[in-house]
Structure 1
Amino acid sequence: MNKYGVLAIDLAKTVFQVCKTDSFGNVIYNKAVNRKRLKEILTLEKKSLVAMESCGGTHYWARFAKAQGHEVKAIPARLVKSFLQGQKTDANDAIAISVAALQPNIKSSRLITAEDQSLNCMDGARAALVSTKRAQANQIRAYLLEFGIPIAKSDKVLKVEIPTILGDAEKGK
């Protein structure tokens, strides 16, 4: 049995649904709050199990809740879905998160530090740049091939050949 109450949060960008339940699962309140009010709730509430679906913003809010002394459980959305009753609304989602959090067999998603999250962001940005660079190089090769100028698939060859091709074009060759 969970000895704390549960603060189940349906995360969003600006308006969050917070469902507070006692340790037996009885709903104390279920209300929509803005970002500022969510921070106040997490700061003022006594130690609770803060549960949320794993989605955008989860790591930030998990770190914030932990810093306020709460326990945190981030639950994969596919596991929460089976506890949803009624229509899919923010209020019903928050209740489903609360119910799922109290289940002993529901595993929490791995939460990462701000440093690890920053590294993941940099890796993602680098991968996107590499992909864009590769696509641009392939596009240049395709355009040149339409003019009868084949270039081997190598960044080094492309860098060496482009100035030569542009120089020849200026000379009318």
Structure 2
Amino acid sequence: MTVKTVGLDLAKDVFQVHCVSATGRRIINKKIKRAKLLAFFGTLPRCVVGMEACGSAHHWGRELSKLGHDVRLMPAAYVKPYVKRGKTNAADAEAICEVVRRPTMRFVEIKTEDQQAVRTYKDGPFRTLTTLW
């Protein structure tokens, strides 16, 4: 069986990956260290990868897109209702995998590095300087 959809729960050092086939059968559910994440996705066939939208998700989205994967980011509030059991990384990855397959789901566009940099300066420490002028 080949992987068709991946739910990726992001963290600081250890990420949780939940992979399913076209029929929805779980193929892989494991933890992967940050250093080995791109190598893992390099071995997978092109597939849909879902993640909760956050600052680091845009970075990983750009990197996984370079490998040929179809990356889709969703607001965390859309994923939360699909978590079936307690708040764990494995449960979150499974919920992300389920949500990304929903036909009516709304996705967040992956931001470029420049878009993220502008947003950082606008809401960051320079905001206080611009409001004083």
TM, length-normalised to structure 2: 0.89
How many Å separate the matches in 2 of 1:127 and 1:25?
46
Higher relative contact order (CA 8 A, sep 6+): 2
Which of these two proteins has the greater Rg computed from alpha carbons? 1
Deviations 1:59-84, CA, capped at 9 Å, x for gaps: 00000111100001101111111111
Which 4+ runs in 1 deviate beyond 3 A? 128-131
Structure with the bigger percentage of helix: 1
Aligned to 1:80: 79
How many Å separate the matches in 2 of 1:56 and 1:113?
11
Structure with the bigger percentage of strand: 2
How many residue pairs get aligned? The number is 131
How many Å separate the matches in 1 of 2:12 and 2:129?
27
TM, length-normalised to structure 1: 0.70
Deviations 1:109-128, CA, capped at 9 Å, x for gaps: 12211111122122223214
**Identical positions, percent:** 31
Q: Structure 2: where are the runs of 5+ without partners?
A: none
Alignment RMSD (CA, Å):
1.8
* Mapping 1:42-121, distance limit 5 Å: 42-121=41-120
How many Å separate the matches in 2 of 1:84 and 1:19?
13
How many Å separate the matches in 1 of 2:9 and 2:28?
14
* Mapping 1:30-49, distance limit 5 Å: 30-49=29-48
Deviations 1:20-69, CA, capped at 9 Å, x for gaps: 11122211111111111111112221101010011231100000111100
Aligned to 1:150: none
Contact 1:25 1:98 in 2 (8 A): no
SS of the counterpart of 1:29? strand
